[in-house]
Amino acid sequence: MVSDRGLEVLRVIVKDYVASREPVGSKSIVERHAFGVSAATIRNDMALLEEEELITAPHTSSGRIPTDKGYRVFVNQLADLRPLLPAHRHAIEAFLGQSEDFDDVLSRTVRLLSQLTHQVAMVQYPTLGHARIRHIELVPLSTTRVMTVVITDTGRVEQRILDIAGGVDEVFFAELRAKLNSGIGGLALAEAAGKLAALSDEFVDERAPIVNQVASSLIEQVVAGRQDRLVMAGTANLARTEEDFTGSIYPVLEAIEEQVTLLRLFAEMEPDQNGFSVSIGRENASFGLGETSVLTSGYTASGGDSARLGVLGPTRMDYSNNMAAVRAVARYLSRLLGDDDTTTR
């Protein structure tokens, strides 16, 4: 059984090791922190922590570093859930508030989160299970090219550019646009895909090739809106922490490039009562990420669809700061997207 002082010793070992990347000894703990006991007493506390497999000696020295289990205890019991500094909160509001559309919001979100945490930042697109078609636009770009645009009621915009073999008849495309919006406007994405598959039945045979071409493009856009995918930023931060990985970081890079792997990990992480999740070290081994930690929080998009955002980095990370940043950005993102009146804290 670890005493309260032993847990405090674990706290300072985690914080000092994260800050310095150097094993932490009893002498440095006594010198840096006001425990009011001797170095011998701290050594006894450290011996008990080592028996509980919360710290370990990386080599033959008096210093100790946290284990994955130690980081887990730190996150569950000891991490300071301090609010972000006012300057950081202002940066979140100012930077995300400049977003032009939904895609830009998510792109800005990962860039900002990466800057705040110095980790790999990830944000999941909402699955849009409840999303509906708000509007479809067909925009002639030239005599042979047209842009198909699908806009959902969540603000998601999907675009494609088509080369029309028979040329763009603007009068017909205006008719087709009107038919599309009257027929599938307001439908859920799954319903819309079914309607689009039968769209050519509503036109004369000679128009069928063009209608099918447009419908196929729109179906791809609708399906894309229903698939899970991630936006990421800050992968270069892993190179700056390469010393925190044994051997090569390339397996980690390969794993995070596989979005399916990260999405599976997101799905298996159990959120706490506040929607926050932390997965540490060996807990991620089955995903090829056994030397990393992943912190995520849920956010809510317009229409009630939810998804997750978070950061990935080495197990030696500033959990307190990163947890605060992920939580604050998630809350502000929900508020920005219109379904959460919680203020960023």
Looking at residue 87, its pLDDT comes to 82
Higher pLDDT, 80 or 40: 40
Q: Categorize the per-residue pLDDT at 129 as very low, low, confident or very high, splitting at 50, 70 and 90.
A: low
pTM of the predicted model as reported, rounded to 2 decimal places: 0.74
DSSP annotation of 246 reads S
For 206-258, the pLDDT digits (tens) are: 888 899 999 998 988 887 655 578 899 999 999 888 899 987 888 888 888 88
What is the secondary structure of 85-105 as a DSSP string?
PHHHHHHHHHHHTT--SHHHH
Q: Yes or no: say if 188 and 218 are a contact pair by the CB < 8 Å rule.
A: no
Res 83: pLDDT: 76
Output the average pLDDT for the chain: 87
What band does 60 get if pLDDT is binned at 50, 70 and 90? low
The answer, yes or no, to whether residue 305 has pLDDT greater than 70, is no
Which pLDDT score, from 0 to 100, does residue 279 have?
96
Domains of the chain: 4-78 (1.10.10.10), 86-127+229-336 (3.30.450.40), 133-226 (3.30.390.60)
How much is the pLDDT for 302?
Answer: 67
What is the C-alpha separation between 119 and 264, in angstroms, rounded? 20
Amino acid 281 reads G
Say what percent of the chain tops pLDDT 70.
93
C-alpha distances (whole Å) from 2 to each of 41, 77, 258 are 14, 12, 40
pLDDT (tens digit per residue) in 7-52? 999 999 999 999 999 999 999 999 999 899 999 999 999 999 999 9
Residue among 47, 113, 109 nearest 323 (CA): 113
